Amino acid sequence: MKLTFQETEVRRIVNVRRHADAWFWDRYSALPYVGCRSGCAFCYLRSGRYLRGRSPDEFDTVIGVKINAAERLRRELPRLKPDVILCGDWQQPAESRYQLFRKMLEVVLEAAFPLLVVERSPLLVRDLDLLLEIHRRTHVSVLFSLSSPDPKVKRVFEPRSPGIRMRLRALTTLAKAGIPVGLALMPVFPHITNRASLRELITAAYEHGACCVVAGMLTMEDLQAEWTLRALERGWPELVPVWRRLYGLSSAANTAKTSAGKESDLSALSVEVARTVREICQQIGIPDRLPRPVWQEERTSNRRLAEHFHNRAYTLELEQASPYRVWAYRKAAWSVDDYPEDVERLARSGGEKALRSLPQVGPGLAREALQWLKASGHLS
């Protein structure tokens, strides 16, 4: 298929989250390309809200190139409070031709922002020198994305993506150089990905130097859902109606029509997969969550306590606890994260009573926060 590059200049490059993400801990993201030559059928970037009027049929043949990406990043980052920025799109042949990500890494280093990379391409090893410089100054975390060890899965859903062995070798290279690197086990395919394949991938990543695993179910949304189902038809036609029911997709339209019952089915399957991943990770000895980076001394206790609350919320989800309990921890995490003063000093000055003054932190969570601050060494 012929490949075309469409060069454009953008007015803004950085996307800003209201709160730090509870999976990857990023507050910002910046991507220089629209579309991808790998053309993975399941890619969430095929959905309408990301294509912005572009045809999903051109996702892997017409690549939008934001030629002023580095210049915009250099102007925008100094205006933002330093926090984790997610970057990663070392796709071939666009990156070899334009080298936009190398230029963007130079900006991230200049601005002293911590970096997160979620990537399928081993090409990022090309920029190991800059990654190490950023890590020495602030922090770098890398997650290599792998979906399945089954060659059929790759052939059906991502035939042009880099091979799994190449990605694992790149993972080892980064790990040996001192970069924290983990496995993004995404997406997990319903009724295709099984316990054996999960164990095989997690074991392989661990043996190649991975320090953590982050797993997530396949998402299905409008145009992207139809592309994914077309690929599924080529490999597992018997699962097409199963997936449509699971995701609440109409058989005739491109839009999802999800009922409460279908949401419950999908939620139950997601919990089952997450529990399996956690169990395997515990047996192997690797965390099933990405450790939150802390790159500065200011408000370290806030970040760590917020991480604790987010992880508690995730565990409660796996235990299928009340949604109210889950949301209580999540809102407390956001409140602690955004609190302008150091919660450690707050606890030292007034103990549990002072911690109850934090928004969204009631007596029970204040008590837990104080216990955690003591147990983690923040309070002697």
- pLDDT band per the 50, 70, 90 thresholds, residue 92: confident
Helix locations, the chain, DSSP H: 48-51, 69-76, 94-98, 100-111, 128-137, 151-157, 164-177, 195-207, 222-235, 240-247, 260-284, 300-318, 323-338, 343-355, 363-375
- How does the average pLDDT of the chain come out, rounded? 92
What's the rounded Cα separation, in Å, for the pair 370 and 380? 11
Do residues 305 and 372 touch, judged by C-beta distance below 8 A?
A: yes
Q: Is this structure's pTM higher than 0.75?
A: yes
Is the pLDDT at 236 greater than 80? The verdict is: yes
Residue/partner pairs of 49-58 with CB below 8 Å, 24 or more apart:
51/223, 56/223, 56/224, 56/227
Mean pLDDT of 103-125: 95
Mean pLDDT of 43-54: 76
pLDDT value of residue 317: 95
DSSP state of 115: E
- pLDDT band per the 50, 70, 90 thresholds, residue 253: very low
- pLDDT band per the 50, 70, 90 thresholds, residue 49: confident
Domains, the chain, ranges and CATH?
A: 4-284 (3.80.30.30), 300-375 (1.10.150.110)
* pLDDT tens digits, 140-190: 999 999 999 999 999 999 998 999 999 999 999 999 999 999 999 999 999
Helix (H) / strand (E) containing 63: strand 62-66
Phi, psi angles (nearest 5°) of residue 73 = -60, -40
- pLDDT band per the 50, 70, 90 thresholds, residue 353: very high
pLDDT value of residue 251: 63
Pairing of strands 140-146, 181-188: parallel
Mean pLDDT of 222-250: 92
Mean pLDDT of 39-50: 82
Helix/strand/coil for 15: strand
- pLDDT band per the 50, 70, 90 thresholds, residue 256: very low
